[in-house]
Amino acid sequence: MAKQVYEKFDAGQVTDDMLAEASLLFNDNYGIWGKDAAILGPFAKPGSRVRLSKDRLRGQYLPDGAACSYVRVTVDGHLAGNAFACRWLFNGKTVCWITQLVVKYDFRERGLASGLLNQLREDDDDIYGLISSHPAACMAAAKVFGNSINLVNLDFIRKYAEAVMKVSPIRYVKDAKLCGSLFDPGDTSGRISSVDTNFFVDHAEPMDALAWVRQEFDWPLGELLEGNEFVIILEVRRRSRSRSRSASRALSLSK
């Protein structure tokens, strides 16, 4: 049986060698540029792989001064998936935002993304967030940090997404433009909870996943448009031991 090992690191423990390996994983497994990507510049050639160097990984996902974490999973000693996260405070609550999540093609659909997210959980987290075009990433986040994708609290996202994201130390989260009927009742595009990130990654794989997920679940986040991604924000589901704390936090958030 294959040996899976999960490891978690604070930003300061992440070496250049680890990032070089993460960069290879990303370049080979994240995705390809979509047909409209050329407007971003010559680096985004439609059909070519989306790439990130180790320096960009550090700059974008482990910026100086921010409370970031990195988790990875190896299978029989080989890197099979990883995730970056960043924590910041919003109204005295700890936000933990998943800023990147990639699993190697050969190891997908066997729970590694969910396992990585599980490693990132901390007892003091109050809110989790993720921007992703891939429904599987949203499914994994909903399950690990909440209940299930069909039980996502859209009202919570509508109320807090903008304020939570605006204070993020991660540039693409801070700059993402919310869109969809959750934020603009006049939006008739079919989007419900999306962001316009101008990230024109090819949507063929996420769209296949979406069609498949919709056969099983009442998908709450709406349609996926080019250059857009889904946004999901979840309130922490606390275990009974801290029920009173959970109740008081929920009350203070709903004010």
Ligand X SMILES: CC(C)(COP(=O)(O)OP(=O)(O)OC[C@H]1O[C@@H](n2cnc3c(N)ncnc32)[C@H](O)[C@@H]1OP(=O)(O)O)[C@@H](O)C(=O)NCCC(=O)NCCS
Is 101 a residue that touches ligand X (CB under 6 A)?
Answer: yes
Restricted to residues 27-56, the positions that interact with ligand X (CB under 6 A) are: 29-31
HSE-CB at 126 with a 13 A cutoff on CA atoms is 20
- Give the residue with the Cβ less far from ligand X, 100 or 181: 100
* 176: its two tokens: 């993402």
Residue 235 CA from chain centroid, whole number: 15
Is 103 a residue that touches ligand X (CB under 6 A)?
Answer: yes
Is 111 a residue that touches ligand X (CB under 6 A)?
Answer: yes
SS (H, E, C) 21-47: HHHHHHHHHCCEECCCHHHHCCCCCCC
List the x/- string, 217-236, binding to ligand X by CB under 6 A: --------------------
What is residue 108's DSSP assignment? T
Q: Which stretch binds ligand X (CB under 6 A): 52-60, 129-137, 157-165, 168-176?
A: 129-137
Chosen residue from 25, 71, 73, 113 binding ligand X by CB under 6 A: 113
Instruction: Please report how close the Cβ of residue 82 comes to ligand X at its closest, in angstroms.
Output: 10
How far is residue 100's CA from residue 36's CA, in Å, rounded to a whole number?
A: 22
Closest CA to 234 of 94, 45, 41: 94
Q: Which residues bind ligand X (CB under 6 A)?
A: 29-31, 100-103, 108-114, 132, 134, 136-137, 139-140, 143, 209, 212-213
